[in-house]
Amino acid sequence: MADWRFVMPDLHPGYIDWERFKANQERLATNAQAYGMQRRAGPVREGSALLQGRVLCGLCGGRMGVHYSQEHGQPVPTYTCQETATRRGGKVCQSVPGKVVDPAVGALLVELMTPMTLEVTLAVQRELEARAAEMDTLRRQHIERTRHDAELARRRYMKVDPDNRLVADTLEAEWNEKLRLHTDVVEDYERCAPEEAAALDAETQQRVRDLAEQFPRIWSDARIDVRERKRILRLLVADVTLVKAEIITANVRLSGGATRTLTLERPLPIAQIRKFKSDLVAEVDRLLDRHCDREIADILNERGLRSWEGKPFNLKKIGFIRGAYNLSSRRQRLRDCGMLTTQEVAERFAIAETTVHQWGRQGLITKVYSDNLNRGLWDIPHDLEIVKGRPGRNAVPARRASITVPSTEQDSL
Give residue-wise pLDDT tens across range 131-159.
Answer: 778 888 888 898 999 999 989 988 888 88
Domain that holds residue 397: 338-402
Query: Which residues in 190-316 belong to E strands, given as ranges?
Result: 237-244, 247-254, 259-265
* pLDDT above 90 for 120: no
3-state helix, strand, coil split of the chain in percent (to 5) is 50, 15, 35
Q: Are residues 362 and 318 in the same domain?
A: no
Q: Give the model's pLDDT for residue 121.
A: 65
| Range with lowest mean pLDDT among 2-11, 314-323, 332-341 | 2-11
**Residue 39 resides in a domain:** yes
Q: 367 and 391: one domain?
A: yes
In a domain, 241, yes or no: no
Look at 62-71, 175-184, 384-393 and tell me which has the smallest mean pLDDT. Answer: 384-393
Clarify whether residues 323 and 360 are in a common domain: no
pLDDT at res. 241: 93
CA angle 164, 169, 170 (to 5 degrees): 105
Structural domain count of the chain: 3
Statement to judge: residues 317 and 361 lie in one domain: no
- Domain co-membership, 1 together with 21: yes
* 8-state DSSP, 199: P
Same domain, 363 and 319: no
Mean pLDDT, to the nearest integer, of 256-279? 83
pLDDT band at 405 (very low <50, low <70, confident <90, very high): very low
> Do 346 and 379 reside in the same domain of the chain?
yes
The residue from 282, 308, 327 where one domain ends is 327
Q: Is residue 323 part of a domain?
A: yes
Q: Is the pLDDT of residue 175 over 70?
A: yes
Instruction: Flag whether 28 is in a domain.
Output: yes
Residue percentage of the chain with pLDDT more than 70: 85
Are 361 and 392 contained in the same domain?
Answer: yes
The answer to whether the Cα torsion of 299, 300, 304, 310 is positive or negative is negative
Would you say residue 154 lies in a domain? no
Judge contact between 255 and 238, C-beta under 8 A.
yes
Prediction pTM value: 0.53
The DSSP symbol for 77 reads: E
pLDDT score for 77: 92
Both 322 and 346 in a single domain? no
**Residues 342 and 323 occupy one common structural domain:** no
Q: Is residue 354 part of a domain?
A: yes
| 220 assigned to some structural domain | no
Same domain, yes or no, for 349 and 322?
no
- 315 and 349 share one domain: no
